[in-house]
Amino acid sequence: PRLPRYTRSDHYAELREKLDALGHRLGGTYRVLVDANHHVDREGAARAGVGFYGKNTLLITRRHGSWVVLGTLVTDIEIDRSEPLALDCGSCRLCIEACPTDALDEPGVLDSTRCLSYWTQAPAPIPEEYRGPLGTQVYGCDICQDVCPWNRGIEKRRAGAASGPEAEPVISLVDWLEASDEDLCERYDRLYVPRNDARYLRRNALVAAGNAGDPGLGPAVRRHAEGEDELLRDHAAWALARLSPAEVG
């Protein structure tokens, strides 16, 4: 399994540094807001003409499509105003049709309770109806971006810039199921994990293990099926039921 593109490095840290440098260059009093839940970056970006709202609810830019992270620089310096883009998705419905759980039930509206990305980050059991559609995805979901025409060709342009172990992170399900809590949280500190609790990463890995259909994962899964954590026991039992009984029974 692979992690989604936006987690392949700490893009928010890079953005924070660049916005801070810009604020310093402009002078005056400023504040950098990055990954701040009390501020809607997409709305400010859309009004400023950075991009436009796609039917998948994400901001789509001309050059990078929706493969961007957003932040805001609040300043008391007067700067030139830019206008919103006169662009939209037209008649395209690829993201709506590709969503396996119909979370995009109408253009520009996301039902988060049906969104796979939401459930990989929620501090609760993943409903059984969404476990199968998750496949071997252990965190997030890129489907509505993968199919977007505005994102075509962007991966090729970035290929030359990708380097290092974080460029294409492939995770091991056995590792996620057996590593210590401290180790998991430290290695994946760039991911949002509820209460910084590694059990939610393990929960996701158990679902992925059940969908992977690899009997060799049985021992690692069974460990949690026999453990004391009710959340993990439930997901492990589900995973074991999907693995070959002859191999894991």
Q: Is the pLDDT of residue 77 over 80?
A: yes
Provide the pLDDT for residue 156.
Answer: 61
Give the CA angle between residues 153, 156, 159 to the nearest 5°: 150
Sign of the dihedral through C-alpha 60, 61, 64, 68: negative
Catalytic residue among 10, 20, 35, 234: 35
Closest among 208, 232, 247, 223 to 3, alpha carbons compared: 208
Provide the pLDDT for residue 245.
Answer: 63
Q: Is 35 a catalytic residue?
A: yes
Site of tokens 């996620």: 176
Closest among 232, 224, 197, 221 to 123, alpha carbons compared: 197
Q: What is the pLDDT of residues 136-191, one digit of tens each?
A: 999 999 999 999 999 998 876 665 455 444 544 689 999 999 999 999 999 998 89
Distance (Å, whole) CA 131 – CA 206: 10
DSSP three-state, residue 216: helix
Count CA atoms within 13 Å of residue 142 on its CB side. 17
DSSP three-state, residue 32: strand
Give 3's pLDDT tier (boundaries 50, 70, 90).
confident
The reported pTM is 0.87
The chain-wide mean pLDDT, for the chain, equals 91
Is the separation of the CB atoms in 100 and 116 below 8 Å? yes
